[in-house]
Structure 1
């Protein structure tokens, strides 16, 4: 399956980001290290491919911003990390910033 829409590549990279970020902390077997490495490599390849078709600053900001949100939420869901109101407000600000970047992009 060929992924021609560059925004789908960004989404794929964002989905994979929590896997490798949390994998660096929680991997404890060769299999988990392999999954972590796979997610890292594919995630960055998707960012590189998307950046060839979209503004690199926008792609990177969305990748890092939404990847951070996804990592925080995954850490809360799977590892019981705390999530307070202040963190939720800051996550919302981050998401609105990412949306703003997308809306300001020149097509």
Structure 2
């Protein structure tokens, strides 16, 4: 079970890579960022699917999306200079609380 959670976190971290690469692809107009983005997105889904062997699908998917969204939003703030308004940061904190809650509840 512990390995499944590690795989799930890896799959979520891969979302950082593919989302950032797709942003850099300029709407798929730049070849290599587009190829990297789509390849890593597929890899992220594959790793997620392996984690689903041992985790409930609802929990795993919610954690994958939550951690991925949180990571991409933080990357946007830190690397791309996106807004870090208090309301936005508070909403991101709520996502983190939800992900932690799912881990605690489902172990």
Fold shared per TM-score above 0.5? yes
Q: How many aligned residue pairs are there?
A: 103
CA–CA distance in 2 between the matches of 1:76 and 1:90?
Answer: 14
CA–CA distance in 1 between the matches of 2:89 and 2:83?
Answer: 11
The secondary structure found in structure 2 opposite 1:52 is: coil
CA–CA distance in 1 between the matches of 2:90 and 2:79?
Answer: 21
Please state how far the C-alpha of 1:23 moved relative to its aligned partner.
2.3
Q: Which runs of 5+ in 1 are unaligned?
A: none
Q: TM-score, normalised by structure 2?
A: 0.87
Write out aligned runs for 1:9-88 (5 A).
Answer: 9-28=7-26, 29-88=30-89
Q: Which runs of 5+ in 2 are unaligned?
A: none
Q: TM-score, normalised by structure 1?
A: 0.87
Structure 1 residue runs of 4 or more that deviate by more than 3 Å after TM superposition: none
